[in-house]
Amino acid sequence: MIEVSAFKSVPPFAQGLVRDLRVRWALEEAGLGYAQHLLGDGEKDGADYRAWQPFGQVPAYEEDGLRLFESGAIVLHIAERPEAGDTLLPADPAARARAIQWMFAALNTIEPQIQNLAAIDLFFASEDWARARRPGAQEMVRSRLATLAARLGDKDWLDDDRFTAGDLLMATVLRILRHTDLVAEAGLAAYLARCEARPPFDRALQAQMAVFEP
């Protein structure tokens, strides 16, 4: 049985964005069932959970004794499982390598800049240093999104004319900007909507949001 950790509660602005969504989505795309390991207040700092996820974050993943942390690593593991077939990674070696390339681009090139801006907006907006820093942070996000949009061009997906794990991670990163208009301004709204229109995404989102219902 696959088990995925998730928080029992998060602030409203984070609901639908917590990174266990990425793993839930990958499992839904691959047609794999899973159980939730829900963490209440303080549990993420307990010794048992830190032995599973040393940084106390979510998601963590367990499957037949294999324990993993970091959402990107977990999604890659799911995509490479035999049961997933070529659902998330193409069978062709070159196309597969390009899809993995986009997974890393989402997490290493795009997400850090977006998370920097989101932290300023959602946690430090009233601080003088944050107000001074925000224009530069926003400009960096705009630059990254413009490059992404140019590379996407008029294609539906990032590479190989099909949805891959690269698109999955990129979409979850772009969703962090939902409190802004930056995705639409960059011309990426249709791409994001295409990703979010996939039934496996909807099932994953509904599963995460159900946890937060009173």
Same domain, 37 and 118: no
Identify the domain containing residue 101 by its residue range.
93-198
Same domain, 161 and 78: no
Which pLDDT does position 160 carry in this prediction? 77
Same domain, 99 and 193: yes
Same domain, 100 and 193: yes
Whichever domain contains 154, its CATH number is 1.20.1050.10
Same domain, 7 and 54: yes
The segments of the chain whose pLDDT lies below 50 read none
Tokens representing 150? 């140019």
Same domain, 48 and 98: no
Same domain, 118 and 178: yes
Name the H helices within 153-181.
165-174
Count of domains for the chain: 2
Please state, in angstroms and rounded to a whole number, the distance separating the CA atoms of residues 78 and 116.
28
Same domain, 127 and 180: yes
143-150 long-range contacts (CB < 8 A, ≥24 apart) are 144/109, 144/110, 144/113, 144/114, 145/110, 145/182, 145/183, 145/185, 145/186, 145/188, 146/186, 148/110, 148/186, 148/188, 149/186, 149/187, 149/188
Which pLDDT does position 214 carry in this prediction? 82
Whole-Å CA distances, 36 to 8, 16, 74, 160: 10, 16, 15, 33
Same domain, 109 and 161: yes
Which pLDDT does position 23 carry in this prediction? 98
Same domain, 97 and 191: yes
Whichever domain contains 73, its CATH number is 3.40.30.10
Distance from the Cα of residue 24 to its chain's centroid: 10
Please state, in angstroms and rounded to a whole number, the distance separating the CA atoms of residues 150 and 25.
26
pTM of the model as a whole: 0.97
Same domain, 39 and 56: yes
Which pLDDT does position 6 carry in this prediction? 98
Same domain, 194 and 102: yes
